[in-house]
Amino acid sequence: MTRKRAAVVSFPGSNCDEDCVRALRTAMDADRVWHTARSLDAYDAIVLPGGFSYGDYLRAGAIARFSPVIEAVHAAAERGVPIIGICNGFQILLECGLLPGTMRKNVSRKFVCAPTTLVVARTDTVFTKAYDRLERIRIPIAHGEGNYYCDEETLRRIQHQIVFRYEDNPNGSVDNIAGIVNAAGNVLGMMPHPERAVDRWLGSTDGVRLMVALAAV
Amino acid sequence: MLWTAHIRVSVKQNVLDPEGQAVQRALHMLHFDSVTSVRVGTYVCVQCTANDEAEAMQRVSQMCDTLLANPVTEQYAIQLERVEAHDA
Amino acid sequence: MLWTAHIRVSVKQNVLDPEGQAVQRALHMLHFDSVTSVRVGTYVCVQCTANDEAEAMQRVSQMCDTLLANPVTEQYAIQLERVEAHDA
Amino acid sequence: MVERIATEPTPEDIDTHKLYARMGMTDAEYALVVQQLGRKPTYTEIGVYSVMWSEHCSYKHSKTLLRLFPTTGSRVLMGPGEGAGIVDIGGGRAVVFKIESHNHPSAIEPFQGAATGVGGIIRDIFSMGARPIALLNALRFGNPNDARVRYTFEHVVAGIAGYGNACGIPTVGGEVAFDEAYTGNPLVNAMCVGLIEHKHIQRGIARGVGNPVYYVGPPTGRDGIQGATFASEQLSEQSASMRPAVQVGDPFMEKLVMEACLDVIARGLVLGIQDMGAAGLTCSSAEMASKAGNGMELWLDRVPMREPHMTPYELMLSESQERMLFVTTPDRDEAVRDVFAHYGLDCVHVGVVTDTGYLTLKMDGHIVGHMPVRGLVDDCPIVEPPAEVPAYITREPTVYPPVTDYACVLHALLAHPTIASKEWVYAQYDYMVRTSTIVPPGSDAAVVRIPDTHTALAMCTDGNGRYVYLDPCIGGRIAVAEAARNVVCSGGQPLALTDNLNFGSPQKPDRYWQLQQAVIGMAQACTVLNTPVIGGNVSLYNEHEGKAILPTPVVGMVGLVHDLEHVTTIGWKNEQDVVFLLGDTYVEWGGSAFQAVVYETLEGTPPMLDLEVEKRLQDHVLACIQAGWIASAHDVSEGGLAVALAECAIAGNIGAKLTMPACALRPDEWLFSETQSRIVVSTTPVHAQVLMRHMQEAGVPIVCLGTVGGNDLVVGAGEECLIAEPVDALRTTWKGAIPCMMQR
Ligand SMILES: Nc1ncnc2c1ncn2[C@@H]1O[C@H](COP(=O)(O)OP(=O)(O)O)[C@@H](O)[C@H]1O
Ligand SMILES: [Mg+2]
């Protein structure tokens, strides 16, 4: 079997791109791809990493959504390619409509960096099949706008799309949402950083199974 | 012709505004007891050229729809002002 | 009497506004070529009681001076509106 | 012929009305400028001289003192003199670091002042060609009962977070202390650490006559003009209005400029590069020319401008942020432009390296300034002001009556914002980005892995102004020793340090004496502990309406962890582990947190520090850590032994049952005195004997205090119980203090 290859898209201001590449490489090949790329056809998986694309000016992800690469991301989403948006990447996926809802400032109105415990709500996605249902995993967060919001009607509709919930809600997200997938199940957005939980020196290895699952798609 | 558009982007009425609430609490702590509600949003001031007010309004609305406001949670209001030639 | 104050807080003219510049570049990227300048600030909508317009204005200015605007880098403008009794 | 700008005062006006005085220049300095030029300077020229000869750029009051620091060592690749110092760490790699202050801007606009301080120190690191891997800071604020102090604290922290987080550099450590003395004049010192391969090391040097000089970064505005001079004055009520415009940071721009500069450097396209920091274009151009022994001609009309009608004076003195100046060769023009274009940046050809030895400024073809580079950079008259021992200095030790409720005092100490948990602060910093942070904020030193190796760097900042106030020489020694001790406790071998000297006006003899004595004490410690000074910063005139801050040298120490397995943290680990105290304890109340909290005063003499004792302690603790005998290590500092023990318990989330050894001290003295050169270590029962024997043979005082276990911290003396507190209760006090203070 040939090794799978992931694209980690760098936007101006992305800053977790290198971390994602390093974490993915334990399981698969990974390249950094600059946001001006027009095609992502060569890749088996796509990661939109964390950071402050375009300085997070106006709203996080609002400007990145117009980068040339986003069309290719839409196309890949339609083809069923697994796509993960982490932190700022999640915000971008919301802004470009690949996932429902929106992100607002943390209720504390402060940036928060901390280890958190997530409860895995779904294990039947390509991303989470290596976890146990309702398993508690340790994955850190680092964001100022991670307060997930959608209206009640939407919340009812996406119940089945919720993949991760916070055990202790750190930012005010509705329904303790930390990560959701699209209806088709191939686009995942999550605020916590799995790439920061990949070896014992970092305090948790719970992110590794996500990387491995992605490589096995 | 040059126009100044004052754009007020704010959280929709039926959506909770935690930032506004935090500011309201802060104002009460500073003894501004007369305050009954606070909403916080973004103010964007755009200068642009257009042949007339209608065109300016149409352009600025389009900017709001595509970039400046998030349709899921935000609404916007535009006030236009003509900039006199010698200022431009 | 109840008043609505629309407060526009913006970066002072001679102070750098990186957010405004980033938004301006984005608007140009989206082919809004008519845009000549963008400043981004905060919009605060405060409802408060006051006996008359002058008092309302004085209260809201004070809120701006103490909390809502940073006097070193920001300026503000206030628009007042009377809220009709049945709305309040 | 040098022409003047029509709207500006004439050289004659400047002379007769002494306009130079407003720029902070003395009559004698002005006379020297006239002598250097052979004529009266124009407004532009006197502006350039005034910032180059300000304290901030010329170090005129501190240069002779800084020479006392040892600056060389077998690992030192570059000492003071460039943007940052460089230390070899083997494998063809080196670590680059520096600390810098942004005290005065932060006093006036806390968020932007702190943010731009971080931005500036990051540029110092990447302009050397190094990849920034970590940020630290040292902060001092006044009494938090004052609402303005809380505002400053909150916004300084937000400013540091806002900038560092967006640049993708983890803020991994630092310190925050509160004392009345900093009320009108907070301290904001930021430190950046970078990694570099030897072959990529850059210098800020304008090499090669005829080579083009480029400007990269955002356009120049009227930001912070005369900022360097401003940093050399004391604060007053007028300061706030004096500034036409504060500098605003744009971390997004910084990130792009950083990536682009590291890219052109890695491609070998650059001959010399320097950031435009204090005094902007003036300082960077003059220093680059000076280091090469060349001249430089700048075409100011080509400098990108944010506002119309900017004058040469404004362009030369502006401190707009995120700008860099670099020199390359003419044939690389296109390659350089391509790299910057990739990041969406323009670079502009703004001048040329000349052989004249002059800095020549042209605007629209007219010469508007022509000044000798050497004169600007090197010939600022050095001042050696008189020093005088302040009247408050005493040799009398302080004595206090015994306290009886030890737990109550312990809680009061833990609740003191200087000692309390700083989680409220560092939770706002992204301390994990770059996925190399092995020990996050909250231990003695932060530990950051060196990518692709099994080694790491330990780093911290330290400096206790209370000790320095009472005895600057001893206080200076302690600052260095404590920083090194923190690195050792984390498993690192101290390599070198950077320092920031935050003091009052050197023109007042008692304050100059504080500076002088502190430098002497620091230099002594550097020599004995074998940690040379590879760079630093001096911030004088830290006064508010005539009242000086506590004299506060801050030491930023970096150490090498030779193997990740050596990484050690403060928390107790396992039931049954044995707790030892290394080092002797004396009755030393002067400058202690006990004194601050219980008596709300600052008096007496600080703890003494025998450098040989300190060195022996550090060497042997490190050796035992490397031998694998130590489970946790924590140095005893503010709050004394009681606080150190509580912190070990809270961090490890486990209690201990301990006993005060029989000695001549009262329990409160043993618990709260701040005697130096002490470390609390724990070890598994298996290693307890060997550790004990090793220390005894080495001549390091060691006593066994008891064992780890249970949910309570219990300390007894003979039959008497001194402290018996649930660890949860201690944690609640310690963690809750700052959030509670900020909710007021
Ligand atoms: N307190 C100090 N201790 C050691 N070196 C210092 C100290 N202060 C300044 N230096 C060194 O003097 C040199 C000149 O500093 P300079 O480049 O003018 O500082 P900056 O870049 O902060 O404006 C630098 O290499 C700096 O590291
Ligand atoms: Mg420098």
pLDDT digits (tens, 9 = 90+) for D241-255: 444 568 999 999 999
Domain ranges of chain D: 1-69+203-380, 384-420+569-744
Residue type, B25: R
A160 is catalytic: no
Residue B18 and residue A107: Cβ atoms within 8 Å?
Answer: yes
Q: H or E element: which one contains A141?
A: strand A136-143
Question: A113 vs A86, A110, A164, D744, CA distance in Å?
Answer: 14, 10, 18, 23
B19–chain A Cβ distance below 8 A for any pair: yes
How near does any CA of chain A get to the CA of D335, in Å?
19
For the stretch D455-498, pLDDT in tens is 999 999 999 999 999 999 999 999 999 999 999 999 999 999 99
D386: Cβ below 6 Å to ligand 1? no
Residues of D in contact with C17 (CB under 8 A): 248
Ligand 1 atom index nearest CA of D82: 25
For the stretch A56-79, pLDDT in tens is 999 999 999 999 999 999 999 999
Q: Give the pLDDT of residue D227.
A: 67
Q: H or E element: which one contains D483?
A: helix D472-489
* pTM for this model (two decimals): 0.95
D81: Cβ below 6 Å to ligand 1? yes
HSE, CB side, 13 Å, CA atoms: give it for residue B83.
Answer: 18
> What separation in Å is there between the alpha carbon of D356 and the centre of ligand 1?
27
* Topology (CATH level 3) of domain A5-215: Rossmann fold (3.40.50)
Confidence of residue B88 (pLDDT cuts 50, 70, 90): very low
CA–CA gap between residue D186 and residue D144 (Å, rounded): 12
Domains D1-69+203-380 and D384-420+569-744 share a fold: yes
D278: Cβ below 6 Å to ligand 1? yes
The mean pLDDT of B7-25, rounded to a whole number, is 92
Tokens 């931005």 — which residue? Answer: D119
Residue nearest to atom 18 of ligand 1 (CA): D57
List the single residue in D109, D223, D252 with the smallest CB-CB distance to C16.
Answer: D223
Q: Give the pLDDT of residue A77.
A: 98
Tokens 């900039």 — which residue? Answer: B83
Contacts of A24 (CB under 8 A, 6+ apart): A6, A8, A30, A47, A195, A211, A214, A215
> What separation in Å is there between the alpha carbon of D121 and the centre of ligand 2?
8
For the stretch D361-391, pLDDT in tens is 999 999 999 999 999 999 999 999 999 999 9
Q: D344-368: b or e for each residue (b if 16 or more CB lie within 10 Å)?
A: ebebbbbbbbbebebbbbbbeeeeb
| Domains of chain C with CATH codes | 2-83 (3.30.1280.10)
A64–chain D Cβ distance below 8 A for any pair: no
Confidence of residue D132 (pLDDT cuts 50, 70, 90): very high
For the stretch A1-29, pLDDT in tens is 688 999 999 999 999 999 999 999 999 99
DSSP 8-class letter at D595 = I
Mean of pLDDT over chain D: 95
Mutation probe of ligand 1 site: the residue of D537, D542, D557 with most atoms within 8 A of C-beta: D537
Least reliable range by pLDDT among A98-102, B84-88, D63-67, D722-726 = B84-88
- Both tokens of A85, joined, read 């948006």
pLDDT for D240 beyond 70: no
- The answer to whether D217 and D255 have CB atoms below 8 angstroms apart is no
A71 is catalytic: no
> What separation in Å is there between the alpha carbon of D406 and the centre of ligand 1?
45
Residue B67 and residue A101: Cβ atoms within 8 Å?
Answer: no
Choosing from A16, A87, A96, A150, the catalytic residue is A87
Q: Looking at the domain that runs over D384-420+569-744, which CATH code has it been given?
A: 3.90.650.10
Tokens 């996050």 — which residue? Answer: D440
Confidence of residue B14 (pLDDT cuts 50, 70, 90): confident
Ramachandran quadrant class, B58 (left: phi over 0; alpha: psi -120 to 50; beta: rest): alpha
Touching partners of B (3+ C-beta pairs < 8 Å): A, C
Q: Can you give the three-state secondary structure of chain B, one letter per residue? A: CEEEEEEEEEECCCCCCHHHHHHHHHHHHCCCCCEEEEEEEEEEEEEEECCCHHHHHHHHHHHHHHHHCCCCCEEEEEEEEEECHHHC
C-alpha dihedral (A84, A86, A89, A93), degrees to nearest 10: 50
How near does any CA of chain A get to the CA of B42, in Å?
8
Strands B35-49 and C2-11: unpaired
Q: Give the pLDDT of residue D236.
A: 57
pLDDT for C22 beyond 90: yes
The residue of A8, A10, A15 whose CB has the most chain D CBs within 10 angstroms, and thus the best one to mutate to test that interface, is: A15
B11–chain C Cβ distance below 8 A for any pair: no
Residue C59 and residue B9: Cβ atoms within 8 Å?
Answer: no
ipTM of the complex in this document:
0.94
Q: Give the pLDDT of residue D714.
A: 98
* Topology (CATH level 3) of domain D1-69+203-380: Phosphoribosyl-aminoimidazole Synthetase; Chain A, domain 2 (3.90.650)
For the stretch D249-296, pLDDT in tens is 999 999 999 999 999 999 999 999 999 988 899 999 999 999 999 999
CA–CA gap between residue D412 and residue D738 (Å, rounded): 13
Choosing from D102, D155, D566, D620, the catalytic residue is D102
Residue C26 and residue A55: Cβ atoms within 8 Å?
Answer: no
| Nearest residue in A to D253, CA atom | A55
Residues shown for chain B: 88
Residue A111 and residue D161: Cβ atoms within 8 Å?
Answer: yes
- Both tokens of D396, joined, read 């009398």
CA–CA gap between residue A140 and residue A198 (Å, rounded): 11
Least reliable range by pLDDT among A142-151, B12-21, B51-60, D381-390 = B12-21
Choosing from A95, A143, A150, A193, the catalytic residue is A193
Q: D426-462: b or e for each residue (b if 16 or more CB lie within 10 Å)?
A: bbbbbbbbbbbbbbbbbbbbbbbbbeeeebbbbbbbb
CA–CA gap between residue D556 and residue D567 (Å, rounded): 19
D277: Cβ below 6 Å to ligand 1? yes
The mean pLDDT of A118-128, rounded to a whole number, is 97
In terms of Cα–Cα distance, which of A31, A13, A30, A203 is closest to D168?
A: A13
- The answer to whether A83 and A44 have CB atoms below 8 angstroms apart is no
In terms of Cα–Cα distance, which of D499, D111, D112, D62 is closest to D319?
A: D112
In terms of Cα–Cα distance, which of D465, D611, D594 is closest to D530?
A: D611
